[in-house]
């Protein structure tokens, strides 16, 4: 019988986007024992990211994939971190996340989120854990995890967007990211 620890260390998880959600999801997954992460983003760390993303002031200007990999390997030097510094598209997502069993959708824009979820669900056999409704602050208990199908789980409050609240706070984004990481661990342990 394979132990929970063995399932986690033998798992490969994709993280699409390394901003407020993705940088936290990746850290939580690594701290939970996931052995391999495939991370992808095309952006660089900006000073404005430091209020809610898992980067440091001395990493401003660095590519997010490089900064994230550096930080993750400080947590677990034995982890395998495969990184892609490119914008995720419908054409490259199946290739980038080919080895993953689950992909965390951590993208910013609604159209990009939809594209990734649809691409992974229709062009691969992988599960997706997505986020919807992360903006604002307060009422932490409004964040929930919903299983939409065997291959799709969505975390968030399902209503608050940057347009509604005009602010994204570290606490609220972190809660949703932790919900995502927890759902991914559950998918790996109880497939």
| CATH number assigned to the domain covering 4-189 | 3.40.50.720
Render each residue's pLDDT in the chain as its tens digit; 191 residues.
899 999 999 999 999 999 999 999 999 999 999 999 999 999 999 999 999 999 999 999 999 999 999 999 999 999 999 999 999 999 999 999 999 999 999 999 999 999 999 999 999 999 999 999 877 777 888 899 999 999 999 999 888 666 555 677 888 899 999 999 999 999 999 98
Judged by DSSP in three states, 2 sits in coil
For residue 190, the tally of other CB atoms under 10 A from its CB is 8
The residues spanned by each domain of the chain are 4-189
Nearest CA among 3, 28, 2 for reference residue 129: 28
Residue 162: the pLDDT is: 60
CA distances from residue 175 to 19, 83, 137, 143, 181 in whole angstroms, order as listed: 14, 25, 10, 7, 10
DSSP 149: S
Residue 169: the pLDDT is: 80
pTM attached to this predicted model? 0.95
Nearest CA among 181, 147, 152 for reference residue 33: 181
CB distance 152 to 128 below 8 Å: yes
Residue 89: the pLDDT is: 98
Nearest CA among 184, 139, 187 for reference residue 25: 184
Residue 136: the pLDDT is: 74
Residue 164: the pLDDT is: 56
> What's the rounded Cα separation, in Å, for the pair 70 and 62?
11
Q: Burial, 140: exposed, middle or buried (Cβ in 10 Å; 0-12, 13-18, 19+)?
A: exposed
Nearest CA among 76, 97, 101, 77 for reference residue 88: 97
Judged by DSSP in three states, 111 sits in helix
């Amino acid at each position: 019988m394979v132990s929970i620890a063995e399932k986690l260390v033998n798992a490969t998880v994709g993280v699409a986007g390394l901003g407020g959600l993705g940088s936290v999801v990746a850290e939580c997954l690594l701290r939970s024992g996931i052995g391999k992460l495939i991370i992808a983003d095309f952006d660089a760390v900006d000073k404005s990211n430091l209020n809610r993303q898992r980067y440091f002031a001395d990493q401003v200007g660095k590519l997010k994939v490089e900064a994230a990999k550096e930080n993750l390997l400080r947590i677990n030097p034995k982890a395998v971190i495969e990184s892609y510094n490119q914008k995720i598209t419908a054409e490259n997502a199946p290739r980038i996340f080919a080895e993953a069993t689950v992909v965390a959708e951590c993208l910013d824009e609604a159209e990009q989120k939809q594209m990734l979820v649809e691409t992974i669900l229709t062009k691969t056999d992988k599960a997706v854990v997505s986020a919807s409704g992360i903006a604002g602050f307060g009422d932490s208990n409004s964040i929930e995890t919903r299983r939409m199908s065997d291959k799709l789980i969505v975390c968030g409050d399902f209503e608050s967007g940057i347009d509604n609240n005009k602010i994204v706070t570290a606490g609220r984004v972190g809660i949703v990211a932790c919900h995502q990481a927890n759902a991914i661990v559950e998918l790996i342990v109880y497939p």
